[in-house]
């Protein structure tokens, strides 16, 4: 398989403002030494709870955030080393769909002009070409092009998310990051948008990174899944492999905690994972998951386990599998 | 009236008079909450589930809201006829409520121990010391570790899950809790924390004999906690059933569509597309007397455009409001086995 994106030892740290004079400012290690690859045409799901760094990771890959270390190679070239002009050209190929379709569209602009904007910024096409493209893309995402004179507030949440997707498609990208793209939608609408994303994937062979907290959604759409916890990848595997055989205790807890739509046997469910997600400012020593882990050992408190390949394509960072 | 019934809502209709017109948020709703049960109201945004809950506590802002008709009978009294003072005496004492975002429901400048003790002192004639003792016990009950230390914390010092536990404790800070209304109590929480809170509500209900009205959009949450379920859509009750019966045999086309829309549904283990419900919810401003699901329903008939159906009883504890299902039941004598099949099987 051909690699599209390669992330090596990526770090993104944020320094918090020091509250007291003379006190060393605290550092949040939002993305802490991650390495993974994205192959052409795959849908890589990234799942984790709030504060695990999944959104920061998505933004850093598109250079919407700074990085504190490591490499992000897109088709072999480091995106943080590109000149402004080269980066602008690259941006055409990488697009992002955001969570909140209410705040990611300018309320004062008509849909037609919102969709025309990306092409204007990149000086692409004549006026007629842009109009033709808008009609085509709106059709594609399931919104009648006659509505391009409307404002965003005149559409429902699901339609607005379709407009957000349409906007990402205007420049014929090859790589799209969806950051919680269906989380704000009602389930019946969410299903429609997921189907749309898959239809587009089949037609244009996009590569997606699909970031979400909802395990069921990630499990459904992805071909491969990364599970994150406090800035680290704890497990990564092909979707089918991960669903069948999740190894890391955190992945297991995540699968167990997900409410099942079947009331039978709910009295004797597995005990739930106790404790809270610790603050990413001061993550626990050793393996960050050890205070909540039901299978904790002495070693876990001291040293962070390496991400190790246990079977082809299945990596896990846990001392149990050493 | 049935002795087992704690609260009953009869023919409730609630509208909002906005500058764009009249929004018919809830229409002709009947529901009963039995003593000691968890009733879930489930549906998507705009289905009227929160408006229904707020009607009980008289938390509907009026204007623009208006309760057009109906009664809310609680312990022999119609809550809608009570004056402000009488309803205030019930709130928090017999009927308490927890909300989605616990940070906005707690006062940020008071210690949580004081906030909970205040609730005890408002309902009972007791001293602060005694109220504090009770508070510590209550925090223990909702499984907050080291409660003697935690009572001195401010809300911002707690995590989201802990705050929701404090809210639950506060709702229980009454000598005689009757009904707990939980409006999307776990929606803002992470999934591992959600599992803890759901387990807590489930356990508490077994310990304390109280009733819970759970408002949620999440079918998974319903399956984990509810005893009985009402599925709402665009202000109407579509299906009402015992929780086992509902998930075993979802009978309204909307309920089926909702369950089919979930990517976690087992049927999608090797499929690449979801069976989504087409279209979007109708505008509550222009909706008439038709079945509100008619424009999205795969089984819609001409009668569906004319009137909202009457109740069709499939079972003692399973009812559906649907012309199609009622036709099916009428043409086949044996009800229950010949319901519309789920999806395209």
State the ipTM, two decimals. Answer: 0.81
Q: Which positions ≥6 away from A119 have C-beta within 8 Å?
A: A125, A130, A133, A170, A171
With contacts defined as CB-CB under 8 Å, which chain A residues touch B223? 259-263, 266
**Domain of A70: which CATH number?**
3.40.50.300
The pLDDT, as a whole number, for residue A238 is: 93
| Per-residue pLDDT at B70 exceeds 70 | yes
The pLDDT, as a whole number, for residue B268 is: 73
Contact A286, A302 (CB under 8 A): yes
Domain count, chain A: 1
Average pLDDT over every residue of B288-311: 91
- Output the average pLDDT for chain B: 86
Q: Assess if residue A218 is contained within a domain.
A: yes
Q: Where are the alpha helices (DSSP H) in B173-291?
A: 191-207, 219-225, 243-248, 253-260
Q: Assess if residue A150 is contained within a domain.
A: no
Q: Assess if residue A54 is contained within a domain.
A: yes
pLDDT confidence bin for B342, thresholds 50/70/90 = very low
Q: Which is it for strands A207-212 and A43-47: parallel, antiparallel or unpaired?
A: parallel
Nearest to A168 by CA among A112, A102, A92: A92
Q: Which residue of B has its CA nearest to A265?
A: B224
| Per-residue pLDDT at A233 exceeds 50 | yes
Nearest to B223 among A198, A214, A259 (CB): A259
Structure confidence by residue, pLDDT tens digits, B99-137: 887 778 888 899 999 999 988 888 888 899 998 998 998
Residue with more model confidence, B62 or B2: B62
Q: How far is A181 from chain B (nearest CA, A)?
A: 15
Average pLDDT over every residue of B58-67: 87
Q: Which positions ≥6 away from B203 have C-beta within 8 Å?
A: none
Q: How far is Cα A317 from Cα A220, in angstroms, rounded to an integer?
A: 24
Structure confidence by residue, pLDDT tens digits, B183-207: 988 888 888 888 888 888 888 888 8
Nearest to B223 among A187, A220, A260 (CB): A260
Q: Assess if residue A128 is contained within a domain.
A: no
Give the range among A21-25, B219-223, B318-322 with minimum mean pLDDT. A21-25
Average pLDDT over every residue of A90-102: 86
Contact A13, A27 (CB under 8 A): yes
User: B146 — phi, psi (to 5°)?
Assistant: 50, 60
Angle, CA of A281, A285 and A291, to the nearest 5° = 95
Q: How many CB atoms lie within 10 A of CB B322?
A: 28
Q: Token pair 């969410």 is at which residue?
A: A190
Q: How far is Cα A210 from Cα A221, in angstroms, rounded to an integer?
A: 8
Average pLDDT over every residue of A293-301: 90
On whether any CB of chain B is under 8 Å from the CB of A263, the answer is: yes
On whether any CB of chain A is under 8 Å from the CB of B221, the answer is: yes
| Cβ <8 Å between B258 and A221 | no
Structure confidence by residue, pLDDT tens digits, B231-280: 999 999 999 999 999 999 999 999 999 999 888 877 777 677 888 888 88
| Per-residue pLDDT at B345 exceeds 70 | no
Q: Assess if residue A100 is contained within a domain.
A: no
Average pLDDT over every residue of A153-171: 89
The pLDDT, as a whole number, for residue B343 is: 41
Q: Assess if residue A87 is contained within a domain.
A: yes
Q: How far is Cα B310 from Cα B326, in angstroms, rounded to an integer?
A: 9
The pLDDT, as a whole number, for residue B8 is: 92
Structure confidence by residue, pLDDT tens digits, B129-186: 998 998 998 898 888 888 888 889 998 888 888 888 898 888 888 777 889 999 988 8
Q: Which positions ≥6 away from B261 have C-beta within 8 Å?
A: A187, A188, A190, A191, B274, B275, B276, B277
Question: A interface mutation test: which of B47, B164, B190, B241 has the most A CBs within 10 A?
Answer: B190
Q: How far is Cα A41 from Cα A5, in angstroms, rounded to an integer?
A: 11
pLDDT confidence bin for B286, thresholds 50/70/90 = confident
Q: Assess if residue A69 is contained within a domain.
A: yes
| Cβ <8 Å between A263 and B198 | no
Helix axes B191-207, B160-172, angle to 10 degrees: 20
Average pLDDT over every residue of A196-219: 91
Residue A240 lies in domain: 3-93+173-321
On whether any CB of chain A is under 8 Å from the CB of B45, the answer is: yes
| Per-residue pLDDT at B82 exceeds 90 | no
Nearest to A194 among B159, B244, B274 (CB): B274
Range B33-63 burial, b when 16+ CB lie within 10 A, else e: bbeebbbbbbbbebbbbbbbbbbbbbbbeee
| Cβ <8 Å between A277 and B272 | no
Q: Which residue of B has its CA nearest to A216?
A: B264
| Cβ <8 Å between A261 and B257 | no
Nearest to B139 by CA among B172, B106, B109, B110: B172
Using CB atoms within 10 Å of the CB of residue A237, give its burial: 0 to 12 exposed, 13 to 18 middle, 19+ buried: buried
| Per-residue pLDDT at A76 exceeds 80 | yes
With contacts defined as CB-CB under 8 Å, which chain B residues touch A257? 191-192, 194-195
Cis peptide before A301 (omega within 30 of 0): no
| Per-residue pLDDT at A152 exceeds 50 | yes
| Cβ <8 Å between A186 and B45 | yes
Nearest to A272 among B195, B263, B265 (CB): B195
With contacts defined as CB-CB under 8 Å, which chain B residues touch A213? 190-191
Q: How far is Cα B58 from Cα B12, in angstroms, rounded to an integer?
A: 13
A&B contacts, CB < 8 Å: 123
On whether any CB of chain B is under 8 Å from the CB of A146, the answer is: no
User: A58 — phi, psi (to 5°)?
Assistant: -60, -45
Nearest to A158 among B219, B257, B280 (CB): B280
Nearest to B263 among A216, A254, A260 (CB): A216
Q: Assess if residue A219 is contained within a domain.
A: yes
With contacts defined as CB-CB under 8 Å, which chain B residues touch A256? 195
Angle, CA of A98, A102 and A105, to the nearest 5° = 70
| Cβ <8 Å between A219 and B247 | no
């Amino acid at each position: 398989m051909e690699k599209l994106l390669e992330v090596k030892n990526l770090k993104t740290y944020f320094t918090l403002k020091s509250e007291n004079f003379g006190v060393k400012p605290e550092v949040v290690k939002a993305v802490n030494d991650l390495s993974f690859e994205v192959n052409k045409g795959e849908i890589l799901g990234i799942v984790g709870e709030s504060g695990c760094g999944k959104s920061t990771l998505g933004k850093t890959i598109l250079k919407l955030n700074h990085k504190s270390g490591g490499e992000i190679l897109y088709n072999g070239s480091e995106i943080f080393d590109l000149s402004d002009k080269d980066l602008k050209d690259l941006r055409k190929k990488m697009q992002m769909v955001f969570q909140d379709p209410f705040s990611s569209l300018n309320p004062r602009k008509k849909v037609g002009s919102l969709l025309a904007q990306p092409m204007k910024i990149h000086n692409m096409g004549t006026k007629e070409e842009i109009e033709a493209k808008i009609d085509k893309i709106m059709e594609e995402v399931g919104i009648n092009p006659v509505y391009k004179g409307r404002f965003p507030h005149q559409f429902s949440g699901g339609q607005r998310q379709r407009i957000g997707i349409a906007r990402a498609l205007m420049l014929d990208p090859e790589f799209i990051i969806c950051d919680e793209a269906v989380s704000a939608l009602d389930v019946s609408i969410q299903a429609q948008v997921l189907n749309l994303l898959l239809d587009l994937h089949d037609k244009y062979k996009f590569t997606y990174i699909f970031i979400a907290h909802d395990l069921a959604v990630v499990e459904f759409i992805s071909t491969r899944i990364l599970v994150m916890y406090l800035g680290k990848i704890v497990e990564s595997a092909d979707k089918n492999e991960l669903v069948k055989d999740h190894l890391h205790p955190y992945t297991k807890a995540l699968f167990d905690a997900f409410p099942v739509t079947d009331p039978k046997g709910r009295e004797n469910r597995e005990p739930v994972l106790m404790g809270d997600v610790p603050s990413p400012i001061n993550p626990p020593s050793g393996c960050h998951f050890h205070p909540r882990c039901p299978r904790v050992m002495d070693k876990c408190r001291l040293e962070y386990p390496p991400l190790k390949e246990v079977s082809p394509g299945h990596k896990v960072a846990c001392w149990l599998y050493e | 009236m049935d002795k087992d019934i704690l609260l009953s809502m009869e023919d409730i209709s609630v509208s909002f008079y906005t500058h764009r017109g009249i929004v018919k948020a809830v229409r002709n709703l009947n529901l009963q909450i039995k003593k000691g049960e968890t009733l879930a109201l489930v549906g998507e945004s705009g289905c009227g589930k929160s408006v229904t809950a707020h009607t009980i506590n008289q938390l509907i802002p009026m204007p623009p809201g208006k309760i057009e008709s109906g009664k809310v009978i609680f312990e022999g009294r119609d809550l809608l006829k009570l004056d402000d003072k009488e309803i205030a005496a019930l709130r928090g004492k017999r009927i308490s409520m927890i909300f989605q975002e616990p940070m906005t429901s707690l006062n940020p400048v008071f210690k949580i121990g004081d906030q909970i003790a205040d609730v005890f002192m408002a309902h009972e004639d007791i001293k602060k010391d005694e109220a504090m003792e009770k508070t510590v016990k209550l925090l223990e009950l909702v499984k907050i570790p080291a409660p003697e230390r935690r009572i001195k914390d401010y809300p911002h010092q707690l995590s989201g899950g802990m705050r929701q536990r404090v809210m639950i404790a506060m709702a229980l800070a009454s000598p005689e809790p009757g009904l707990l209304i939980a409006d999307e109590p776990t929606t803002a929480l992470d999934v591992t924390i959600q599992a803890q809170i759901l387990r807590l509500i489930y356990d508490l209900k077994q310990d304390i004999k109280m009733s819970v009205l759970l408002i949620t959009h999440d079918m998974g949450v319903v399956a984990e906690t509810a005893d009985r379920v009402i599925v709402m859509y665009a202000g109407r009750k579509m299906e009402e059933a015992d929780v086992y019966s509902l998930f075993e045999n979802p009978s309204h086309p909307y309920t089926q569509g909702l369950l089919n829309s979930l990517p976690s549904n087992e049927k999608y283990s090797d499929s690449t597309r979801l069976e989504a419900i087409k279209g979007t919810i109708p505008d509550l401003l222009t909706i008439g007397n038709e079945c509100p699901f008619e424009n999205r329903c795969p089984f819609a008939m001409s009668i569906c455009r004319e009137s909202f159906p009457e109740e069709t009883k499939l079972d003692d504890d399973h009812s559906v409001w649907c012309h199609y299902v009622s036709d099916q039941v009428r043409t086949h004598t044996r009800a229950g086995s010949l319901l519309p099949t789920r999806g395209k099987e």
